[in-house]
Amino acid sequence: MGPIPRAAGRMLLVTAMISGVATTAWSHHAAAPVFDMNAEKIVTGVVKQVDWTNPHIWIWLEVQNASGQAETWGFEGMSPNFLARRGWTRTSLMPGMRITVTFRPLRDGKAGGMFMTGKLEDGKVLTSAGAE
């Protein structure tokens, strides 16, 4: 897409201030139509698979639901190109790692969203802006 349209631009400003969402997502697709950019949710689970792929990385978690059943959740991250220049590697997240993910939920209510931050058990924090 080209220069960001006005409404999306306003949204971008707001999200950048609130949460530090990087704008790379906008290069490929608009975030607001699919993710609720005003909501923030947290879920803890175990990494099943990481797709270190373009145009976005995808992090798949196994999460126990309220009735104790395992569900698969999917989170869209930035691109490997963006993240690899900011401290992430393709092994930053590996299957079996337990992680608490903060995310913008999918508007359709399905199990997933836009990855914001991930806190690992050793205290390491991965963000959409880079690894710390």
Does 39 bind another protein (CB under 8 A)? Our answer is no
Number of H helices, E strands in the chain: 3, 7
Bridge-partner residues for 114, per DSSP? 76, 104
* Phi, then psi, of 83 in degrees rounded to 5: -70, -35
- Length reported for the chain: 132
Residues 49 and 96: their CA atoms lie apart, in Å, by 9
71 and 111 Cβ atoms separated by less than 8 Å: yes
Q: Which stretch binds another protein (CB under 8 A): 39-47, 56-64, 95-103, 118-126?
A: 56-64
Q: Which stretch binds another protein (CB under 8 A): 19-27, 39-47, 61-69, 96-104?
A: 19-27
Does 24 bind another protein (CB under 8 A)? Our answer is yes
**Which residues of this chain interact with another protein, rule CB under 8 A?**
1-6, 9-10, 12-13, 16-17, 19-24, 26-30, 33-34, 49, 51, 53-56, 58, 60, 72, 74, 76, 79-82, 84-86, 106, 108, 110-112, 127-130
